[in-house]
Amino acid sequence: MSLLLSPLDALAERLGLARSSELLVVAVTHSSYAAEHGCESNERLEFLGDAVVDLAIADLILTAYPELNEGSGSLVRSRVVNEASLAVAAQRLDLANCLRIGRGVKKEHGLARPSLLADAFEAVVAALYLESGWEAARRFVQESLKGAVAEAALRPGEVDPKTRLRQWSEATGQGTPVYDVVAEGPSHDVTFTAAVHVAGERLATGQGRSKKSAEVEAAEEAWKGRDDA
The torsion of the CA quartet 135, 132, 3, 87, rounded to 10 degrees, works out to: -60
Side chain identity at 38, as an amino acid letter? G
Set 9, 46, 119, 122: catalytic member? 122
In three-state secondary structure terms, 175 is coil
Q: Is 9 one of the catalytic residues?
A: no
Asked whether the beta carbons of 123 and 27 are under 8 A apart, the reply is: yes
Give the contacts of 103 (CB within 8 A, at least 6 positions apart). Answer: 32, 36
Contact 121, 87 (CB under 8 A): yes
> In the beta sheet, which residues pair with residue 154?
none
Query: Could you tell me which of 126, 148, 146, 145 has the C-alpha nearest to residue 136?
Result: 126
Q: Which residues are within 8 A (CB) of 178 and not within 5 positions of it... i.e. 6 or more apart?
A: 196, 197, 198
Name every residue whose Cβ is closer than 8 Å to that of residue 111 and which is 6 or more positions away in sequence.
Answer: 96, 99, 101, 105, 117
Per the annotation, the verdict on 189 as an active-site residue is no
Q: Dmax of the chain from CA atoms?
A: 63
Q: Catalytic one among 9, 50, 215, 217?
A: 50
Neighbour tally for 173: CB within 10 Å: 7
Catalytic residues: 50, 122
